[in-house]
Structure 1
Amino acid sequence: MYRVRMLAAAAVLVVLAGVLAACGGKTEQLSKVRVGEVTRSIFYAPQYVALSQGMFKQEGLEVELTTIPGGDKVATALLSGGIDVALVGAETSIYVAQQGSSDPIVSFAQLTQTDGTFLVARKPVTNFDWNSLRGVTFLGQRKGGMPQMAGEFTLRKHGIDPQKDLNLIQNIEFANIASAFASGTGDYVQLFEPQASVFEKEGKGYVIASFGKESGKLPYTDFMAKRSFMNKYPDTIQKYTNAIQRAQLWVQQKEVNEIADAVKSFFPDTDIGIIRSVVQRYKEQGSYATDGIIDEEEWNNLKNVLRQAGELKGDADYKMLVDNSFAEKARTAVK
């Protein structure tokens, strides 16, 4: 059935391309945009605001959102034409470029600008000192992913070698990390929300530090597309970026409870109190980007994180892998 849907979608795009080509050579546009997100997370609240508040529709776009767990799987879907736009870690475009792609994946708007994970201990800790982690069993995130790299970057900043000074566990699937900690694995764990807030509510763990605050600003999660797609459908990319800019401003201006109400339908199994707690935590530490522009300083910080993790092979050309033109226009046009 999935394959049939993909073939049908491809057929629609072919027909649409033919119709638009017949219209006197006008810039091609898509009214339907297939988006793949790497996970469903309150960390991506502005995206869900754009959907729930009709901001994409205001731009004349219909967004089909699919969750595709794993950055490698999202990249595969994007490269193969299964989706048009990806919401995934910025490192994904670098990994694809390192493999020598002739049609690079390009970031055109950032959604989050810090890491979104937190250090969680089994018991409350007052006056936490990073040096107290030496010798503990640390349940980290997947090797090569931004959460793990940002975590290791932070540890090194505090003089801790993750490979030598910790008993580091990083071979557990992302979806199983929280349950592994709850069942007794590890003294400390690196967790995304809402698991961190859920553990605090249930007394299973306590947030004692933020990797987002410690690792600094990064183009952490970006919207990206193939360069060929962006060249073919620049108006569609612009409209998409406009909608995201509108949502980013909305999130900055609104109170926590209103934001939580706007995104709650995307998290039907999550208590509204937890959603509010997560939104407040991410707002307070500035995780939600205020616009889509990815500046070069943030990009260089990202490269430093990858370089320290041993994942950067050569250079990652900012000018080749980032296109701020759409975000710059959106910031000017959307008030």
Structure 2
Amino acid sequence: MRTKLLYISGCLATLLIAGLAFYFFQQREPAGQIHLRVYESGHEMANLPHYIAASLGYFSDENLAVSLFNAKDDPAAEDLQKAGVVILPPEKAWEKKMHAFAQMTHFEPGFLLAREPMSSFAWSSLKAKIVIGGDPDSTLETTFEAILKKEGLRPQTDVTIVQNLPAKLRLGAFLAGSGNFILLRDPQAQQLQLAEQGYVVASLTPAGNVPAQICAASPGFISRNSEALVRYTRAIARAQSWIAAQNPRDIAVAAASFYPYLDLDTLTAVIERHKENDLWAKTPAIDPKQFAALQEIMFKAGELAKPIPFARVVRPEIAAEALKSLASTKNQ
């Protein structure tokens, strides 16, 4: 009899635990919620629309559970073809045969930094100087070279550009005394300036409108997860509209948790600088003309043998559907 009672008690306890587990699981997992892994090639100011969408709950509004990872730190990112969404410069997406479906910025977010403050900078100041640049095929490097050419300076003739250093060694080389100038994106640029080891003298926006930071995924991932990507892009679109309408201080407050190493005043100053440069795109839709402009820059830099058809590497229907549904919601 005792054994039977123990057996019944055990069964009841098991059912109770299972019931509680099911209840809490249901509470944590809203019906229809989609999990989406997002990788960033670097933690950059260019990715601000993602951070704002997370901070203001736009992903939650879309019933998305979004996890953000640094692609350099997560072993699961070794095969980005299967991993999920990746936020990165377009040339890196092409290398990995990934398709772009949204843009974060419509300018190159990089800066030129000098060793000493320069009250009045002119591009002609670079003549006979050495600049620590980026990868030869990067938007950071090719937009810089495009500006030099506009200013009548010949890359590697009038201005020496160091391009053979691995990314992780460039800043160290500059701090050790190599070069007169360096190309960097934020927050690295701002951190160097805070340490009084480098000073921003120019942005690279004079190169013109280009989709310099994009969201991409493998063709297979896009086909299997189009609904999730539309939801994600809709959240990014809302964040871009919010950023365009807000002042730098309010944006900094919303994004502060993503930049724990920058105090609020510093973060506000950085965002203000980028707002003045109109860095962040107003819409996630990639403009074919801007896409062509980027390819022209890369072609003239000798980093693209021939133009890549827009339809081969861009999936515009994702952003189109996201913007259409947003417009429909506003009109209701």
Band of TM-score, shorter chain: 0.7 to 0.9
Letter in 2 for 1:152: E
User: Shift of residue 75 of structure 1?
Assistant: 8.8
> Does residue 1:63 correspond to 2:66, yes or no?
yes
Letter in 1 for 2:40: E
- In structure 2, what is the Cα distance between the partners aligned to 1:268 and 1:172? 29
The answer on whether the counterparts of 1:133 and 1:166 sit within 8 Å (CA) in structure 2 is yes
User: Shift of residue 245 of structure 1?
Assistant: 0.8
- In structure 2, what is the Cα distance between the partners aligned to 1:198 and 1:90? 25
The answer on whether the counterparts of 1:74 and 1:88 sit within 8 Å (CA) in structure 2 is no
- In structure 2, what is the Cα distance between the partners aligned to 1:76 and 1:220? 23
Say how many residue pairs are matched. Answer: 295
Mapping for residues 1-335 of structure 1, pairs under 5 Å: 31-69=34-72, 77-79=79-81, 81=82, 83-97=83-97, 105-211=98-204, 213-334=205-326, 335=330
Structure 1 runs (4+) greater than 4 angstroms displaced: 73-76
The answer on whether the counterparts of 2:130 and 2:160 sit within 8 Å (CA) in structure 1 is yes
Q: Calculate percent identity across the aligned residue pairs.
A: 30
Letter in 1 for 2:292: N
- In structure 2, what is the Cα distance between the partners aligned to 1:154 and 1:220? 15
Higher mean C-alpha displacement, 198-207 vs 118-127: 198-207
The answer on whether the counterparts of 1:44 and 1:111 sit within 8 Å (CA) in structure 2 is yes
Gaps of 5+ in 1: 1-28, 98-104
Rg comparison, structure with higher value = 2
RMSD of Structure 2 on Structure 1 (CA)? 2.2
The answer on whether the counterparts of 1:30 and 1:233 sit within 8 Å (CA) in structure 2 is no
Number of the residue aligned with 1:22: none
User: Shift of residue 292 of structure 1?
Assistant: 0.6
Please list the CA deviations of residues 283-322 of structure 1 after superposition, one character each: whole Å capped at 9, or x if unmatched: 1111111111111110111101211222213330101211
- In structure 1, what is the Cα distance between the partners aligned to 2:103 and 2:77? 17
- In structure 2, what is the Cα distance between the partners aligned to 1:331 and 1:288? 17
- In structure 1, what is the Cα distance between the partners aligned to 2:35 and 2:283? 23
Number of the residue aligned with 1:17: none
Gaps of 5+ in 2: 1-31
